[in-house]
Amino acid sequence: MSSLICNLPAIEVWVRKEYLTDHNSGHGEFVKGVWVSAKSMPGRAFYFETYLPDYAAMYDKLPISAFLSDPKLPDPDMTLHNLQFWNCMDYGVTAIQKQFIGSMSYELYTRDYGTMKGTYIATLDNYHDDPDTVDYSTSETPAEHKSHNLIELENGQYALYPNNRMRIFDNSLTPKEPKKPDFKVSTVYYQVENGFDYDGMGNEDDYFWKIAKERE
């Protein structure tokens, strides 16, 4: 397996201590941490690996609901399924920071708590990482693929949201009253070779080759 885990930006966070005790104790207590990596396993929430400097320890398999930007209970205190909309889609995972939209204002549409504003951190994205194994996931199916945008929320929690559950506003580019998207989900597999004119390039050895209609 060539993926499963990816590096994360080294963001300082607070960990809800009950997640460090298998929810047996520590409720209302917080432990300082720094994000290290994220794990992607199909059918589960993303698991975050976090360094805990006060303990000189690493702790992994923490969901996004374990983290806060400040050591205090958030208001509202949103559940995991409000903070991550979809499970991981495959073992293949990558983390990127989309620089162009990184400093814009974000507005997320939660399941149960209405609109929540936030700040962009990075994006986790799934893909099918091993061509030698059966692709039983939908990470590369146009109508089903989702990006997981990692957002710090104004209530102190963090979220992983797809593009179609948020709006992104830029002070210079976005009009005062932007249009409501009326888009449809993409279902087309775009490609540029099969299903078009046959060019018969097998006998061509010219550096500046010509397609079939140019050779007529």
C-alpha torsion sign, points 150, 153, 158, 162: negative
Say what the pTM is.
Answer: 0.89
**Residue 142: per-residue pLDDT:** 76
**Residue 8: per-residue pLDDT:** 96
**Residue 1: per-residue pLDDT:** 47
**Residue 84: per-residue pLDDT:** 97
Rounded mean pLDDT for each run of 10 residues along the chain, 216 residues in total: 85 98 97 97 96 98 98 97 94 94 96 97 90 75 86 98 96 94 90 74 74 74
152-175: burial string, b at 16+ Cβ within 10 Å, e else? bbebbbbbbbeeebbbbeeeeeee
